[in-house]
């Protein structure tokens, strides 16, 4: 087990572990640093920057995946249908370190250059710009797309330099807030009380579940997908019944691989699972699984396997199914008091 695996196991253990206790002094320092930084922004000693269009930040207060990118895609689609022209900014986690200049993401870009999640969003048809500095990314996006009238930030809840009109925090119901300790003893980037300050909390649940009661007023979200697509031939699709056979494998290099494995199992597919780190850079050797008749993966992982995938490789596209009340809330914040 790698150190990263041990940390995650510690974060989501039902009891405080010895490793968590050992790391508590570092967590206290981390939490102090978070508090000082927030105070500097609140007092104006560190400045926020307002862009010429409103900004909706979709993030989380825990480390790891929680369904932010599918929610950003769902918000972009819903806002487009309501007359908005959204653009998207992102840090582009997992991409190569470059000059730091903003990069406009194209649908044919290399995920190593722009990041896997921004590439997914660009392929959905939205203007996307990546940069470590979200303000620089937003300015670049608006310069390239003058018709854009709202920016969605994929992650960046803690990027306080970028002023925002709406804050949405996403939580994975299966993991919650873990042991509720700050990093590195726990998964929290900010204290749990931060959830009381955001405009909306969205809880990623399993199918047909509502948002857990420990998050009052939260909106439920689930990821929906029932048809696999062949990585090397996107025109070829298959239902789950096509994989009701031996020697099926499932791999995932996402923040919470078990979520994908559970989804595959819920579709009636019995698969041998393979876990990889989040944003893992797949190579051909990762798919060299002896005796595998089918290899199932997430769409995010498929992006990094396109160059060497064969006929065994299939990915599962998913869309976020969100509460219409959340869309109404966001639209109301964006249009302001004059909204009907």
Q: For residue 75, is it within any domain?
A: yes
Euclidean distance between CA atoms 13 and 54, whole angstroms: 39
Cα dihedral 127, 64, 222, 111, rounded to 10, equals 30
Instruction: Give the residue among 198, 120, 184 at the shortest CA–CA distance from 156.
Output: 198
Claim to verify: residue 208 and residue 242 sit in the same structural domain: no
Per-residue confidence in pLDDT tens, the chain, 340 aa: 677 788 889 999 989 999 999 999 999 999 999 999 999 999 999 999 999 999 999 999 999 888 999 999 999 999 999 999 999 999 988 888 777 899 999 999 999 999 999 999 999 999 999 999 999 999 999 999 999 999 999 999 999 999 999 999 999 998 999 999 999 999 999 999 999 999 999 999 986 566 667 788 899 999 999 999 999 999 999 999 999 999 999 999 998 899 999 999 999 999 999 999 888 999 999 999 999 999 999 999 999 999 999 999 999 999 999 999 999 999 999 998 654 4
318: its two tokens? 């998913």
Q: For residue 191, is it within any domain?
A: yes
Residue with tokens 């914040």: 333
Angstrom CA distances, 89 to 62, 80, 163, 321, stand at: 20, 16, 13, 22
Q: For residue 171, is it within any domain?
A: yes
Instruction: Using DSSP, state whether 38 is helix, strand or coil.
Output: helix
Claim to verify: residue 206 and residue 178 sit in the same structural domain: yes
The parent domain of residue 167 ranges over 55-85+149-222+321-338
Claim to verify: residue 75 and residue 173 sit in the same structural domain: yes
Q: For residue 138, is it within any domain?
A: no
Euclidean distance between CA atoms 321 and 207, whole angstroms: 10
Angstrom CA distances, 92 to 6, 53, 97, 98, 240, stand at: 25, 22, 10, 11, 31
Q: What DSSP character marks residue 336?
A: G
Q: For residue 111, is it within any domain?
A: no
Euclidean distance between CA atoms 137 and 143, whole angstroms: 10
Which uninterrupted H or E stretch holds 113? helix 111-114
Tell me, what's the pLDDT at 208? 58
126: its two tokens? 């939205």
Claim to verify: residue 208 and residue 285 sit in the same structural domain: no
Tell me, what's the pLDDT at 3? 74
The residues, any chain, with a CB within 8 Å of residue 78's CB and separated by 6 or more, are 322, 327
Q: For residue 121, is it within any domain?
A: no
Claim to verify: residue 246 and residue 309 sit in the same structural domain: yes
Overall domain count for the chain: 2
Claim to verify: residue 191 and residue 71 sit in the same structural domain: yes
The residues, any chain, with a CB within 8 Å of residue 223's CB and separated by 6 or more, are 67, 70, 204, 263, 318, 319, 320, 321
Q: How deeply is 103 buried, as exposed, middle or buried, from its count of CB atoms within 10 A (0-12, 13-18, 19+)?
A: buried
pTM of the model: 0.94
Euclidean distance between CA atoms 238 and 242, whole angstroms: 6
**Contact by Cβ (8 Å): 139, 120:** no
């Amino acid at each position: 087990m790698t150190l990263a695996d041990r940390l995650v196991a510690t974060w989501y253990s039902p009891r405080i572990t010895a490793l968590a206790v050992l790391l508590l002094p570092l967590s206290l320092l981390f939490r102090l640093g978070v508090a000082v930084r927030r105070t500097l922004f609140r007092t104006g000693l560190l400045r926020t920057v307002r862009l010429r269009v409103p900004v909706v930040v979709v993030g989380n207060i825990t480390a790891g995946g929680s369904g932010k990118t599918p929610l950003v895609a769902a918000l972009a689609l819903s806002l487009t249908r309501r007359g908005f022209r959204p653009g998207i900014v992102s840090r582009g986690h997992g991409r190569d370190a470059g000059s730091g200049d903003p990069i406009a993401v194209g649908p044919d870009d290399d995920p190593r250059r722009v990041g896997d999640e921004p590439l997914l969003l660009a392929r959905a048809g939205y203007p996307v710009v990546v940069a470590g500095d979200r303000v620089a990314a937003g300015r670049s996006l608006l310069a390239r797309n003058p018709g854009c009238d709202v920016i969605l930030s994929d992650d960046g809840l803690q990027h306080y330099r970028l002023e925002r009109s709406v804050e949405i925090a996403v939580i994975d119901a299966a993991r919650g807030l873990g042991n509720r300790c700050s990093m590195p003893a726990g998964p929290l980037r900010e204290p749990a009380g931060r959830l009381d300050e955001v405009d909306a909390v969205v809880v990623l649940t399993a199918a047909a579940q509502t948002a857990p009661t420990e998050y009052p007023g939260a909106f439920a979200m689930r990821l929906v997908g029932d048809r696999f697509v062949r990585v090397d031939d996107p025109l070829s699709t298959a239902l789950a019944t096509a994989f009701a056979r031996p020697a099926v494998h499932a791999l995932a290099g996402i923040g919470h691989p078990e979520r994908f494995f559970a989804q595959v199992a819920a579709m009636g597919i019995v698969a041998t699972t393979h876990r990889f780190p989040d944003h893992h850079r797949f190579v051909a050797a990762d798919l060299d699984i002896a005796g595998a008749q089918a290899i199932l993966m997430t769409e995010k992982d498929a992006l990094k396997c396109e160059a060497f995938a064969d006929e065994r490789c299939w990915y599962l596209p998913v869309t976020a199914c969100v509460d219409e009340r959340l869309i109404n809330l966001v639209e109301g914040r964006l249009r302001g008091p004059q909204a009907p």
